Amino acid sequence: MTTRRDFLRGCLASGAAAASAVLPETACARDTLKRPPEGLGLLYDATLCVGCQACVAACKQVNENPAEFTAMDKLWDTPLDTTGHTFNLIKMYRNGTMETKDSELNGFSFMKTSCMHCADPSCVSACPVSAMTKNPETGIVGYDPDACIGCRYCVAACPFGIPKYQYDSPTGKIGKCELCRHRHKDGHYSACAEVCPTGATLFGRTEDLLAEAKRRLALKPGEWTTIPRGRLRPAQEKVLAGGEDGKGQKHRHGWRDEPDQSYQAQVGNYLQHVYGETEYGGTQVLKLSAVNFQKAGLPDLPPKSSAATSETIQHTLYGGLIMPIAVLAGLTWVAKRNVVPEDDDQKGGKS
């Protein structure tokens, strides 16, 4: 029958397996990923936003999304949140009498809701079939419906609540902002930034946008400054812009030629924080606001991404399949000694 030695051997084998579930932060640790240097993004400045929703309408148009009605008279597109058919929305913070714009007390403020294009996106880490991918150059988090199995792990994983599923369809897809990547080949950039009348939503390289955000934070509230609109052109672009392509409409940087749309505006009463600079390792969409970001509907996130934590656990346990194979070898060895063909064994176990 059972001997103490067999029992101890069994203990050892499953002890090793159990130990494999405890995770030392070893060589397998996966650091939080950083933004790619040429990553593209948006800068949203809540103090410049007038809540006109032109960006919402433009986003609907270029992504061929239907209007969503929530009011009795179905006259206007009135989504209450981003959905599988609404990738961009301007939400409103309201308090008390709502007299003053950009004031937390008795005031109101706007906040853009759309994909943040994280440096280390939870949705990409979660997706089991690589339907969510991050472009290594532009950093755009894109979605491929042909790969997607519709498990909605991305919906559950995203701390910004961005990927949304189309529950109303038997073949529903995930809907989310892809920074208008389908329009880039024609020299167009994100439609929300293209149409924004105040420059509240600005398109550009995230590094340039971050510099612009910090420039605004350094200014004195109330003073006048130049605010770019549409696409933020970095200083060195003027040098690059010398050569036109055959059609004379696109420059070497790939974007359509546009007249300078910058204008003079007053500096907002900013909180000294660029939202997205460090959150979850940074995001490519950055935000400025005078009202507390959490009150405006953005989550308070640590600098370490949860994708890094999750993948560290997985790689520690399963990296190179070393741990599973070692445990399997141990278990096989023990099982071989203990499993006796039933026909020859009426005693139940090795004697």
By CB under 8 A, name the one of 64, 73, 146, 223 that touches other proteins.
Answer: 146
Q: Measure the CA–CA gap between 82 and 164, rounded to whole angstroms.
A: 8
Considering the complex, what minimum distance in angstroms separates the CB of residue 8 from other proteins?
10
**Contacting other proteins within 89-128 (CB under 8 A):** 91, 93, 122, 125-128
Residue with smaller CB distance to other proteins, 159 or 187? 159
Q: State which of residues 72, 73, 167, 272 lies at the interface with other proteins (CB under 8 A).
A: 167
Residues 143, 174 contacting (CB under 8 angstroms): yes
Stretch that binds other proteins, among 49-57, 204-212, 271-279, 330-338 (CB under 8 A): 330-338
- Asked whether position 2 contacts other proteins by CB under 8 A, the answer is yes
Which residue is associated with the tokens 């058919």?
A: 85
Q: Residue 165 or 275: which CB sits closer to other proteins?
A: 165
Question: Any idea of the CA torsion for 51, 256, 181, 167, to the nearest 10 degrees?
Answer: 40
Instruction: Name residues contacting other proteins, limited to 181-220 (CB under 8 A).
Output: none
Least distance CB 327 / other proteins (angstroms) = 6
CB nearer to other proteins: pick between 221 and 348:
348
CB atoms within 10 A of CB 5: 8
Smaller CB separation from other proteins, 252 or 350: 350
Of the residues 168, 235, 246, 259, which one makes contact with other proteins according to CB under 8 A: 168
Of 37, 61, 80, 182, the one binding other proteins by CB under 8 A: 80
Our CB check for other proteins shows the closer of 29 and 57 to be 29
Amino acid residing at 121: P
Minimal distance in Å, beta carbon 18 to other proteins? 7
Binding footprint of other proteins, residue count (CB under 8 A) = 89
Task: Choose, by CB under 8 A, the member of 155, 219, 241, 265 that binds other proteins.
Answer: 155
Window 290 to 329, contacts with other proteins (CB under 8 A)? 296-297, 299-302, 305-307, 309-311, 313-314, 317-318, 324, 327-328
Beta carbons within 8 Å of 176's beta carbon, 6+ residues apart: 82, 87, 115, 141, 143, 162, 163, 164
Q: 315 vs 31, 51, 119, 206, 266, CA distance in Å?
A: 12, 45, 20, 30, 50
Collapsing DSSP to helix, strand or coil, 43 comes out as strand
Q: Are 205 and 236 in contact (CB under 8 A)?
A: no
Q: Does 130 bind other proteins (CB under 8 A)?
A: yes
* Positions in 3-62 near other proteins (CB under 8 A): 3, 6-7, 10-11, 13-14, 17-18, 20-23
Among 29, 52, 98, 172, binds other proteins (CB under 8 A): 172
Q: Are 154 and 126 in contact, with CB atoms under 8 Å apart?
A: yes
Q: How far apart are CA 193 and CA 45, in angstroms?
A: 12
Taking CB under 8 A as the criterion, the residue among 55, 116, 157, 202 binding other proteins is 157
Task: Give, for 175, the enclosing helix (H) or strand (E).
Answer: strand 174-175
Nearest to 179 by CA among 223, 220, 211, 209: 209
Say if strands 285-288 and 40-45 run parallel, antiparallel, or are unpaired: parallel
List the one residue from 44, 87, 160, 255 that touches other proteins (CB under 8 A): 160
Q: Return the bridge partners of 212, or none.
A: none
The count of other CB atoms within 10 Å of the CB of residue 228 is 18
Q: Work out how close the CB of 293 gets to other proteins at its nearest, in angstroms, rounded to a whole number.
A: 11
Instruction: Give the number of residues written for the chain.
Output: 351
